[in-house]
A and B are shown apart, each in its own frame.
Chain A
Amino acid sequence: MQMTGAEIFVRTLADLGVETVFGYPGGAVLHIYDALFQHTKVRHMLCRHEQGAVHMADGYARASGKTGVCLVTSGPGATNTVTGIATAYMDSIPIVVFSGQVPTLLIGNDAFQEADIVGISRPCTKHNYLVKEAKDLPRVIKEAFYIASTGRPGPVLVDMPKDVLVSSARYVLPDKVDVRGYKPNYEGHPKQVESAMRMLLSSERPVVYAGGGVILSNASAELSELTRALSLPITTTLMGMGAFPGSDPLCLGMLGMHGTYQANMAISNADVILAVGARFDDRVTGKIDEFAPHAKIVHIDIDPTSIQKNVRVDVPIVGDLKDVLRKMIKSAKGRKDVAAFREKTSEWREQLADWAKTHPLSYKPAKDKIKPQYVVEQIYRITKGNAIITTEVGQNQMWAAQFYTYDKPRTFLTSGGLGTMGYGLPAAIGAQVAMPGRLVIDIAGDASIQMNIQELATAVQFGVPVKVVILNNRVLGMVRQWQELFFQGKYSETIQPKIPDFVLLAEAYGAKGFRATKTEEVASVLKKGFAAEGPVIIDVEVDPEEMVYPMVPAGAPLTKMLLV
């Protein structure tokens, strides 16, 4: 049967099981929107900015484990997606972005609304395509989903010229995907796994360092099983929050720049580090030459480029974490030295518990000011840890990581790698669309929230009941913190004397707004806000001088922490 490229596009999405597309129409994709008009299987959600659309697809993917989908027009529509694509790329999130393109004959002519998005997005996509014929659409789209979601996941962009969408072809969806140059290696080498086990069991001060890869490969259960079987203390990265239950006594919390004292001391004193699905980001390692000076490193990652990139690795294992961890569990079960190992390392765990006791995460309460950490603690208490939390970027993000406990994967969604302000609200909407029954809360700052506040209109239009809690300190908090510590308190352009009335703003968009100005009110206002129907903004006026501690200054070793 002959169909237009636009019809083929929609049909392919439907046949691949895509339920929701976040997007924004325009000239180059008009035919697709026409084909979508009365389509019942694929639901389109109109965003208010293409960046919002990509973050929604990203939040949808992080919360559900499915691939997020986004559709935009050519030129500015496409370029507006770049920040969202780069965000997904840095955090290895599977999304597919479809962009319209000017007709083939006009490409390269500086046509109206033309941008070379394939060229622009090349360094921040896992792969991208320019489709030249309508008949190629089903194959390319199927490949795009396959590439986005397998191996180390990541964003894929498919650029579709208008004439391709208008021209006709027969619809044939290939059964299989075969990309010659793309064969991810899922199976960890058994010999390497054995060396890793030997190295681990010979250690006296082992630490597991778990990153977002654990969540991406759905290997949390395996990680917990191995960690508990060997009584291994474990620290997670920002991206790894929830990969291992934060409330488990073996969990040391987050490591790195704003990590816990015990986690950073554990890494700095460890003799063997088992790195799983983590990539030794500079926010984690601090001064690289002094990172884990006594440790041998076992590194498991599906992406060989992550291994040996920043630190020297003693036992590299390339493979899917689920597979490798299963092999390690199996090996642990067959070994006689496990009990002795647990015995031998008990002193180490006592030492860690001692560090936790002497230097817990804390803050100084104040009578007349609301402490942002207190607000996050209250969110945890009220939701009993059952919410999906998204964050913006900055102090709000760090407090959300530190003072809320994440016991399950896919409950903490944050822009870890790129640090994208404006991520939290659209990501929350995407997560809520994927998980309609859950409570989804964006922990925001007053500056970040203004970067994509327009998506409140999307939430209202589609009745997506996300709750935004603004830790409103009227400053660009994290930048101000650096100015305070490293620029003699010269607050260059970080104080916002004029910020909108967020309660009125919420109402202007048709959402509900609440405000808390005193510590005593916080819990009740949060409860009221969370219970209210539809999208809600809760504006909490917090202490503008509060800082995020502990803090390892940039370029310092992890042991040189500034404490509360």
Chain B
Amino acid sequence: MRHTISILVENEFGVLSRVAGLFSGRGFNIESLCVAETEDPQVSRMTIVTSGNDQIVEQILKQLNKLIPVLKVVDFTGTDTVDRELVLVKVKADNDTKPEVLRLIDIFRAKIVDVAPRAYTIEMTGGEGKVNAFLQMLRPLGIKDIVRTGKVAISRGM
């Protein structure tokens, strides 16, 4: 099962490799990992998407908690959260495909952020499903490059 894990860590060098090393050292796979400073510049938040059975995930959570620079670990799976991902995608945009690309941008509420003679670069944010759907629609039109951030998540309410 897939889990979205949110981790608050001390904002210091080496902490990312401690966390990532914990996964790789035990053969756990990381599907995506996002990290940046929080409202407190001394603290960063990481959002990690990983998968495994209950026992593996329990181990991952406990091991993360054991790391000294880790302040808090929350498994968002099954809780009420908002999550988003950002994708930048470069698509072929010639006279044949342009109208369709523009139509899709409109439907998915995406945005063109760079224009070149034969390509658009498009920015889109959304849940993972929406991002996947958008990319699936663009694919037949000719995708040149994709970069995705991976998921960031925050709990709802309060």
List A residues at the B interface (Cβ < 8 Å): 118-119, 122-123, 126-127, 130, 147, 179-182, 303-305, 308-309
Are A181 and B10 touching (Cβ within 8 A)?
yes
Write the nearest CB–CB distance from A105 to chain B, whole angstroms. Answer: 16
Which 10 pairs from chain A and chain B are nearest by CB? Answer: A305-B62, A127-B68, A181-B71, A182-B68, A123-B25, A304-B62, A181-B70, A181-B68, A181-B69, A305-B63
For chain B, the bracket of interface size reads 20 to 34
Residues of B with C-beta under 8 A to A305: 59, 62-63, 66
Residues of B with C-beta under 8 A to A123: 21, 25
How far apart sit A127 and B70, CA to CA, in the bound complex (Å)?
12
Residues of B with C-beta under 8 A to A303: 66
Residues of A with C-beta under 8 A to B71: 180-181
Write the nearest CB–CB distance from A228 to chain B, whole angstroms. Answer: 33
Residues of B with C-beta under 8 A to A126: 68
B53 within 8 A of A: no
Are A180 and B63 touching (Cβ within 8 A)?
no
Q: CB within 8 A of B55: which of A118, A127, A308? A: A308
Q: What is the 8 Å Cβ interface bit string for chain B, positions 62-95, against chain A (1 contact, 0 not)?
A: 1101111111000000000000000000000000
Are A122 and B18 touching (Cβ within 8 A)?
yes
Closest Cβ neighbor of A151 among chain B residues: B66
- Take A181-B10, A181-B70 as given contacts and tell me if A304 and B65 are in contact as well, using a CB distance cutoff of 8 Å: yes
Are B10 and A180 touching (Cβ within 8 A)?
yes
Residues of A with C-beta under 8 A to B14: 118, 122, 130
Are B59 and A309 touching (Cβ within 8 A)?
yes
Are A122 and B68 touching (Cβ within 8 A)?
no
How far apart sit A103 and B14, CA to CA, in the bound complex (Å)?
18
Write the nearest CB–CB distance from B143 to chain A, whole angstroms. Answer: 37
Residues of B with C-beta under 8 A to A308: 55, 58-59
Residues of B with C-beta under 8 A to A179: 68
How far apart sit A304 and B14, CA to CA, in the bound complex (Å)?
24
Closest Cβ neighbor of B14 among chain A residues: A118
A118, A123, A130, A180: which has the most chain B beta carbons within 10 Å? A180
Residues of A with C-beta under 8 A to B13: 130
How far apart sit A363 and B9, CA to CA, in the bound complex (Å)?
56
- Take A180-B10, A305-B59, A305-B62 as given contacts and tell me if A119 and B68 are in contact as well, using a CB distance cutoff of 8 Å: no
Residues of B with C-beta under 8 A to A122: 14, 17-18, 21
Q: CB within 8 A of A181: which of B55, B59, B63, B67? A: B67
How far apart sit A123 and B21, CA to CA, in the bound complex (Å)?
7
Residues of A with C-beta under 8 A to B65: 304
Name B's interface SS. Answer: helix
How far apart sit A127 and B10, CA to CA, in the bound complex (Å)?
14
How far apart sit A165 and B125, CA to CA, in the bound complex (Å)?
49
Residues of A with C-beta under 8 A to B18: 122
Between A and B, 25 residue pairs with Cβ closer than 8 Å are: A118-B14, A119-B17, A122-B14, A122-B17, A122-B18, A122-B21, A123-B21, A126-B68, A130-B13, A130-B14, A147-B68, A179-B68, A181-B10, A181-B68, A181-B69, A181-B70, A181-B71, A303-B66, A304-B65, A305-B59, A305-B62, A305-B63, A305-B66, A308-B55, A308-B58
Residues of A with C-beta under 8 A to B10: 180-181
Residues of B with C-beta under 8 A to A309: 59
Residues of B with C-beta under 8 A to A304: 62, 65-66
Write the nearest CB–CB distance from A40 to chain B, whole angstroms. Answer: 34
Beyond contacts A123-B21, A304-B65, A308-B55: 15 other A-B pairs, Cβ-Cβ < 8 A, are A122-B18, A122-B21, A123-B25, A127-B68, A179-B68, A180-B71, A181-B9, A181-B10, A181-B67, A181-B69, A181-B70, A182-B68, A305-B62, A305-B63, A308-B59
How far apart sit A147 and B69, CA to CA, in the bound complex (Å)?
12
Write the nearest CB–CB distance from A353 to chain B, whole angstroms. Answer: 38
Residues of B with C-beta under 8 A to A118: 14
Closest Cβ neighbor of A182 among chain B residues: B68
Closest Cβ neighbor of B26 among chain A residues: A123
Closest Cβ neighbor of B13 among chain A residues: A130
How far apart sit A309 and B59, CA to CA, in the bound complex (Å)?
7
A130, A181, A303, A308: which has the most chain B beta carbons within 10 Å? A181
Write the nearest CB–CB distance from A406 to chain B, whole angstroms. Answer: 30
Write the nearest CB–CB distance from B7 to chain A, whole angstroms. Answer: 11
How far apart sit A460 and B131, CA to CA, in the bound complex (Å)?
70
How far apart sit A553 and B2, CA to CA, in the bound complex (Å)?
37
Q: What is the 8 Å Cβ interface bit string for chain B, positions 3-20, against chain A (1 contact, 0 not)?
A: 000000110011001100
Write the nearest CB–CB distance from B22 to chain A, whole angstroms. Answer: 8
Q: What is the 8 Å Cβ interface bit string for chain B, positions 28-55, against chain A (1 contact, 0 not)?
A: 0000000000000000000000000001
Residues of A with C-beta under 8 A to B70: 181
How far apart sit A304 and B66, CA to CA, in the bound complex (Å)?
9
Residues of A with C-beta under 8 A to B25: 123
Closest Cβ neighbor of B8 among chain A residues: A181
How far apart sit A119 and B25, CA to CA, in the bound complex (Å)?
13
How far apart sit A81 and B80, CA to CA, in the bound complex (Å)?
47
Q: What is the 8 Å Cβ interface bit string for chain B, positions 82-120, against chain A (1 contact, 0 not)?
A: 000000000000000000000000000000000000000
How far apart sit A119 and B24, CA to CA, in the bound complex (Å)?
14
How far apart sit A305 and B14, CA to CA, in the bound complex (Å)?
22
Closest Cβ neighbor of A307 among chain B residues: B62
How far apart sit A98 and B67, CA to CA, in the bound complex (Å)?
20
Residues of B with C-beta under 8 A to A180: 10, 71
Q: What is the 8 Å Cβ interface bit string for chain B, positions 126-137, against chain A (1 contact, 0 not)?
A: 000000000000
